[in-house]
Structure 1
Amino acid sequence: MVVAERARADRFEHLLGVLKRMTFGKRSEKMSADQLALALEDRDVALAEIELLTEQNEEVIGAPLERRRRRADTPRASLPLHLPRHEIEIAPAACQCAACGGALHRIGEDRAERLDIVPAQYRVLVTIRPKMACRACGDGVAQASASKHVVPGGLPSESLIADVLVKKYADHLPLYRQSQILARQGIAIERATLANWVGRAAGYLRPLVELQKARLLTCDRLFVDETTAKVLAPGNGKTKTGYMWAMVGDDRPYGGADPPAIVYSYMPGRGGVWAAKLLGDYRGILQVDGYEAYGQFGKADRPGGPAALAYCWAHVRRGFFDATKGKGAPIAEEGLRRIGALYEIEREIRGRSADERRIERQVRARPLLDELHGWLEEKRRRMFSGSPTLEPINYALRRWIGLTRYVDDGRVDIDNNAVERSMRTMALQRKNALFAGHELGAENWATIASLVETCKLVGHKPDAYLADVLARIVVRRDGDTLDDLLPGNWSDTKAANIAPVSLVLCKAA
């Protein structure tokens, strides 16, 4: 016992020392946000171990029970109601009163819920097609046709393929790691085989994404952005930089009826020619950052007429925020304060109708913007050319018409964050896969990511959606409608009901 207590004490001191160095010690290098997140996770793990050691020490020294219970009584997150409940009842060891021997009667109970998991279980689906013959004539033989599948005559069910897709494109788990996970279950499936499944699924799903893209291009408003996507260049073993473009339609901030949707498209470049290829003759509202490739869509002499360019205040705010990182930047801090007042108005009116938002902005935001414009002009005249604050000021003034368009149209958002958020999944995939093997691989990535991320927006489980849609789309003929299979129109007819409660009676030891 003494040795165990000494070991716990030594461990306790060690953890405290590590945490002090993490919190207060000097750092010789800057850490990225992801590295910092990992460090914080490790710190929280260490804190939990310290808490356990403290509890064990309190048990040894006989601390009051109320003190030891205090931590256990802290509020916990409630578990979702749709999860099945498996009840385990622990009855007293004896059913007679220890004092008088009389029978014990139930007067109440204590209930405690813990989250449990049943490990993923792979199973084999056996399809049997009996052959039926006529005994009278011996000529007639009947047998049902084999069902169509994504991989004809292959191993995977559509549910298994959906699981592979979600793990790769939603959970960012490369195929070789999935192959290793299957191997631990005694299932030998090579990475190349998994890749074949993914490619065949992408081929079936691409028409859905093309239909979703066509629908987006008819919307009144689009968010558009682009980010880098490394692709392996053929022949030399090096990578080249392509771009993943994203289009987002999301009318929920002003109560629009259309379901939100995302479409990713891989392009070899980022210039205006690729933006034109992506958007064609779109003439609605384009919510974009200040990248010059989008400027062509707002020109009056554009064939078919100009689109309405609405620029992003988050980019202006980011510029002022970067300028405040230096010492003594009162102008940048004042700029942040003024932009913050505009965002406060937006937080209050989010979800209202487009007309209500326009009226509120005209009354409350317009005077603030007029004051801000005058303030920016004044500061620009007085500022020397090398000032870091001058850059966001010039950025805002050059794009003032697009930045203030949201005041006159309640459908327009103050920023481009709807599409900026959609780029996070691209960044995570880049960090896990590093690069796509070829341009077709990047296109398949864009196809499946479009459906996975749209499912997240509309509240569907991506694995349930993909499993059902793959099973249904393989039996559709060319020319059959696909509208009901779009994430915004799809309904999960196979959604499981809450499983019945099971009751297990146990005697206390």
Structure 2
Amino acid sequence: MNETLDLDGMSQLQMHQLVQQLMGTVQQQSRLVEQQSTELKHKQALLDKLTFEMAVLKRLKFAAKSEALNANQRSLLEDALEEDLQAVGEEIEQMRPAAQRTPSQPKRLPLPEQLPRQEFKHEPEVTQCCEQPMRRMGEDVADKLDYTPGVFTVHRHVRGKWVCACCQTLKQKPVDAHIIDKGLATTGLLAQVLVAKYADHLPLYRQEAIYARAGVPLARSTLAQWVGSCGVQLQPLVDALRQEVLQHWVIHADETTVQMLKPKAERNGKTHRAYLWAYSPGRHEDIKAVVYDFCESRAGKHAGEFLEDWSGTLLVDDFAGYKQLMGGAIEEAGCWAHARRKFFDLHAANKSQMAQRALEQIGQLYELEQQAKDMDGANRLKLRQEESAKVIKKLNACLLEQRGKVPEGSATARAIDYSLRRWTALTQFLSNAQIPIDNNWIENQMRPIALGRKNWLFAGSLRAGQRAAAVMSLIQSAKLNGHDPYAYLKDVMEKLPTWPNRRIQELLPHRWQLTGQRIG
């Protein structure tokens, strides 16, 4: 049968196909509009949240200071507020479309004349146009303050301007990208401020005094703004480091206390107990890294949020917050150092012979682990199954026998019950060579935090604590891999402004030697 033609000569079949195509296009556009609308709502909600946080921070900064705070507390609080304001401002600026971003030109005092100067010439590679030499018509000069340990210098960047007399074309070498756009400080000085604050635990008010004695007056608010900006720019590295840690199926976890200033409404000069959590791949895994996570409490939900959908073996102490994570995708491994500590305390208190025998047998386990220290996984597992398993069996029999002889609630019963209750977790290392015998590896990564607590007094805000955790993650991971944290941060911050996001893993501390100069 012949197809019926319409007035324009188009068949009904062609008309139907065209309508179907148009309907498909409309549906596709509708889905795109809906997706963009959802993204816009999400971004607007985040922008509203950040704007509100900015308003709160400004009120805290400019409101009358509470007399309940002593001088040192006020100094640390002011540092944290300046850092938070700068960090929130940068996050808001990053969310705006490029056309709506407002360039800022900071006002600053001239750098002291007595500082040594290094001059850097920047000229276009080609100074010819219209087949004739261009004429140099001037230059732009920018001074940046640099710092190498113990020495301030001024880097003077001179960018010549070249013009073609024929067509008036102007050529000038563009300004190199910098981690703080139009910032005064070089990456060397920024790295020094970060390392001094987060590795050497020098608050900004102390750094301000140190730099003033060196003849360079740097306002604490300026230092705080640098720290806030660097914290935002370094965050992608920390996020990538966290993903690397979660790719390993044996992870150490631990937590320690850090005081945090209470919100203004309930402050009255007081602090409350916050927690810094630490996560690291197992001691026998193929990378050395640690990621700190600052949280308002010790609730187990914080560990759950950090680990998300991770599955593997989690090596922890007996803290109840971890219990809700166990089962299913996550298995628990116990720490023999904690078990040994119970018997050590018991022996120190009353010279218990049972505790002494337990300590001797646990000591044998550690001697075997020392022998296996440099073995590959297969030989380590073989040694554990042939030798360590015998010691474990003997220790278990000893504990069960003694438990029936001691009364409930006694110190001996509590020491024995701690190990027997966690026996399955404590013996996980016998079935897998990658599981360490204890959690000492991550506890060692907590030592810098314990030292820092003596200098911090407290974290000024949740955001300040999270920023400290992020920067300390990079610094401590750099140290674990034998790097000088100053050299590492300086090199990374020089590369970050132009570094492709898809290659961000190359700048992580355990891979940095492939892209930078390794120190140590």
Question: What TM-score comes out, normalization by structure 2 length?
Answer: 0.68
1:193 is paired with a residue whose SS is helix
Question: Residue 119 of structure 1: CA displacement?
Answer: 7.5
Question: Residue 229 of structure 1: CA displacement?
Answer: 1.6
Structure-to-structure mapping, 1:239-318, within 5 angstroms: 239-251=271-283, 253=284, 256=285, 258-299=286-327, 305-318=328-341
Structure-to-structure mapping, 1:135-150, within 5 angstroms: 135-137=165-167, 139-150=168-179
Q: Which residue, 206, 213, 227 being the options, matches 2:256?
A: 227
Structure 1 residues 434-463: Cα deviation after superposition (integer angstroms, max 9, x where no partner): 211100000011000000000111111111
Partner Cα distance (1:368, 1:359) in 2: 14
Aligned position for 2:158: 128
Question: Residue 213 of structure 1: CA displacement?
Answer: 0.6
Cα pair distance change 1:417/1:183, threshold 3 Å: same
Aligned residue pair count: 370
Q: Which residue identity lines up with residue 308 of structure 1 in the other structure? A: E
Partner Cα distance (2:464, 2:315) in 1: 28
- Answer whether contact 1:244 1:265 (CA < 8 A) is retained: yes
Q: Does residue 487 of the first structure (1) align with residue 517 of the second (2)?
A: no
Partner Cα distance (1:158, 1:496) in 2: 17
Q: Which residue, 436, 439, 442 being the options, matches 2:462?
A: 439
Aligned position for 1:430: 453
Partner Cα distance (2:289, 2:392) in 1: 31
Residue identity over aligned pairs, in percent, reads: 38
Q: Which residue identity lines up with residue 309 of structure 2 in the other structure? A: D
Bigger Cα displacement from structure 2, 336-345 vs 139-148: 139-148
Partner Cα distance (2:309, 2:423) in 1: 24
Partner Cα distance (2:287, 2:516) in 1: 21
- Answer whether contact 1:464 1:492 (CA < 8 A) is retained: no
Structure 1 residues 110-143: Cα deviation after superposition (integer angstroms, max 9, x where no partner): xxxxxxxx98211001111111111234x11111
Structure-to-structure mapping, 1:105-120, within 5 angstroms: 120=150
Aligned position for 1:343: 366
Partner Cα distance (2:339, 2:253) in 1: 17
Cα pair distance change 1:471/1:119, threshold 3 Å: closer
Question: Residue 363 of structure 1: CA displacement?
Answer: 0.8
Aligned position for 2:270: 238
Q: Which residue, 197, 200, 206 being the options, matches 2:226?
A: 197
- Answer whether contact 1:465 1:492 (CA < 8 A) is retained: no
Partner Cα distance (2:187, 2:242) in 1: 24
- Answer whether contact 2:149 2:192 (CA < 8 A) is retained: no
Question: Which fold has the larger relative contact order, with Cα–Cα distance below 8 Å and residues 6 or more apart in sequence?
Answer: 1
Question: Residue 243 of structure 1: CA displacement?
Answer: 1.0
Q: Which residue, 434, 437, 441 being the options, matches 1:411?
A: 434
User: If each structure's strand is expressed as a fraction of its own residues, which one has the higher value?
Assistant: 2
Question: Residue 150 of structure 1: CA displacement?
Answer: 2.5
Partner Cα distance (1:145, 1:291) in 2: 56
Aligned position for 2:29: none
In structure 1, runs of 5+ residues without a counterpart are 1-117, 300-304, 499-509
Structure 1 residues 372-411: Cα deviation after superposition (integer angstroms, max 9, x where no partner): 1111111111112343232221110001001001011111
Question: Residue 496 of structure 1: CA displacement?
Answer: 9.5
Question: Residue 352 of structure 1: CA displacement?
Answer: 1.1
Cα pair distance change 1:331/1:217, threshold 3 Å: same
Cα pair distance change 1:212/1:497, threshold 3 Å: closer
Partner Cα distance (1:239, 1:268) in 2: 11
Question: Residue 350 of structure 1: CA displacement?
Answer: 0.7
Q: Which residue identity lines up with residue 409 of structure 1 in the other structure? A: N
- Answer whether contact 2:288 2:481 (CA < 8 A) is retained: yes
Cα pair distance change 1:119/1:455, threshold 3 Å: closer
Question: Residue 327 of structure 1: CA displacement?
Answer: 3.1
Question: Residue 281 of structure 1: CA displacement?
Answer: 2.1
Question: Residue 492 of structure 1: CA displacement?
Answer: 7.1
1:326 is paired with a residue whose SS is helix
Partner Cα distance (2:245, 2:515) in 1: 26
- Answer whether contact 1:342 1:365 (CA < 8 A) is retained: yes
Partner Cα distance (1:365, 1:223) in 2: 22
Bigger Cα displacement from structure 2, 410-419 vs 379-388: 379-388
- Root mean square deviation, CA, Å: 2.0
User: If each structure's helix is expressed as a fraction of its own residues, which one has the higher value?
Assistant: 2
Bigger Cα displacement from structure 2, 194-203 vs 320-329: 320-329
Question: Residue 148 of structure 1: CA displacement?
Answer: 2.2
Bigger Cα displacement from structure 2, 144-153 vs 313-322: 144-153
1:136 is paired with a residue whose SS is coil
Aligned position for 1:81: none
Partner Cα distance (1:349, 1:480) in 2: 38
Aligned position for 2:213: 184
Partner Cα distance (2:250, 2:391) in 1: 25
2:280 is paired with a residue whose SS is strand
Partner Cα distance (1:227, 1:129) in 2: 51
Q: Does residue 214 of the first structure (1) align with residue 243 of the second (2)?
A: yes
Partner Cα distance (1:119, 1:175) in 2: 17
1:491 is paired with a residue whose SS is helix
Structure 1 residues 60-103: Cα deviation after superposition (integer angstroms, max 9, x where no partner): xxxxxxxxxxxxxxxxxxxxxxxxxxxxxxxxxxxxxxxxxxxx
1:123 is paired with a residue whose SS is strand
Cα pair distance change 1:338/1:437, threshold 3 Å: same
Question: What TM-score comes out, normalization by structure 1 length?
Answer: 0.70
Partner Cα distance (1:173, 1:241) in 2: 21
